[in-house]
A and B are shown apart, each in its own frame.
Chain A
Amino acid sequence: MKLKDNEDKIYHLDEKKVMAIAGDTCDRERFASFIQRNLDWYKYKNGYELDLDATAEFTRSELATAIRKGPYNVNLLIAGYDDKSEKARLYWLDYFGTLQEVKKGAHGYANYFTSSVLDNHYKADMTLEEGKEAIKAGVQVLQKRFMMSQPKFVMKIITKDGTQVEEI
Chain B
Amino acid sequence: SMSRYDRAITVFSPDGHLFQVEYALEAVKRGTTAVGVRGKDVLVLGVEKRAAAKLQDPRTMRKIVKLDDHICLAFSGLSADARVLINKARVECQSYRLNVEDKSSLEYITRYIAGVQQKYTQSGGVRPFGISMLVVGFDADGTPNLYQTDPAGTYYAWKAHAIGRNSKTVLEFLEKHYTDESNEESIKLAVKALLEVVESGSKNIEVAVLTRGNVEFLDDEQIEKYVQMVEDEKAEEKKEP
List A residues at the B interface (Cβ < 8 Å): 33-34, 37-38, 40-41, 44-45
A37 to B101: give the CA distance in the assembly, Å. 10
B90 within 8 A of A: yes
Residues of B within 8 Å of A38, CB to CB, are 94
Residues of A within 8 Å of B87, CB to CB, are 45
A45 to B68: give the CA distance in the assembly, Å. 10
A34 in contact with B90 given A44-B67, A44-B68 (CB within 8 Å): no
Interface string of B146-168 (1 = CB under 8 A from A): 00000000000000000000000
B93 within 8 A of A: yes
User: Is chain B's binding surface mostly helix, strand, loop or mixed?
Assistant: helix
A33 in contact with B90 given A44-B66, A44-B67 (CB within 8 Å): no
A33 to B95: give the CA distance in the assembly, Å. 10
Q: Which of A34, A44, A45 has a CB less than 8 Å from the CB of B98?
A: A34
* Contact yes or no, A37 B90, CB < 8 A: no
Residues of A within 8 Å of B93, CB to CB, are 41, 44
Please give me the residue from chain B that is nearest to A44 by CB atom.
B90
Give min CB distance, A146 to chain B, whole Å.
Answer: 33
Q: Which residues of B86-121 are within 8 A (CB) of A?
A: 87, 90-91, 93-95, 97-98, 101
A44 to B91: give the CA distance in the assembly, Å. 9
A44 to B98: give the CA distance in the assembly, Å. 15
**What are 7 pairs between A and B in contact, CB < 8 Å?**
A37-B94, A37-B95, A37-B97, A40-B68, A44-B93, A44-B94, A45-B87
Residues of B within 8 Å of A41, CB to CB, are 90-91, 93-94
Residues of B within 8 Å of A37, CB to CB, are 94-95, 97-98
* A to B contact number (C-beta, < 8 Å): 23
Please give me the residue from chain A that is nearest to B98 by CB atom.
A37
Residues of A within 8 Å of B97, CB to CB, are 37, 40
A82 to B68: give the CA distance in the assembly, Å. 23
Please give me the residue from chain B that is nearest to A41 by CB atom.
B94
Pick the most buried of A38, A41, A45: most chain B CB atoms within 10 A of its CB. A41
A44 to B65: give the CA distance in the assembly, Å. 9
Residues of A within 8 Å of B66, CB to CB, are 44
Contacts A33-B98, A33-B101 known; 16 new A-B pairs at CB < 8 A: A34-B98, A37-B95, A37-B97, A37-B98, A38-B94, A40-B68, A40-B94, A40-B97, A41-B91, A41-B93, A41-B94, A44-B66, A44-B67, A44-B68, A45-B87, A45-B90
Give min CB distance, B123 to chain A, whole Å.
Answer: 24
A152 to B140: give the CA distance in the assembly, Å. 33
Residues of A within 8 Å of B68, CB to CB, are 40, 44
Pick the most buried of B90, B94, B97: most chain A CB atoms within 10 A of its CB. B94
A33 to B98: give the CA distance in the assembly, Å. 6
A89 to B94: give the CA distance in the assembly, Å. 27
Give the 8 A-B CB pairs with smallest separation, nearest first. A37-B94, A41-B94, A37-B98, A44-B90, A45-B90, A40-B94, A33-B98, A37-B97
Residues of A within 8 Å of B90, CB to CB, are 41, 44-45
Please give me the residue from chain A that is nearest to B92 by CB atom.
A41
A33 to B66: give the CA distance in the assembly, Å. 21
Residues of B within 8 Å of A34, CB to CB, are 98
Residues of B within 8 Å of A45, CB to CB, are 87, 90
Please give me the residue from chain A that is nearest to B95 by CB atom.
A37
Give min CB distance, A69 to chain B, whole Å.
Answer: 18
Please give me the residue from chain B that is nearest to A40 by CB atom.
B94
Give min CB distance, A166 to chain B, whole Å.
Answer: 26
A158 to B189: give the CA distance in the assembly, Å. 43
Residues of B within 8 Å of A33, CB to CB, are 98, 101
Residues of A within 8 Å of B98, CB to CB, are 33-34, 37
Q: Which residues of B56-72 are within 8 A (CB) of A?
A: 66-68
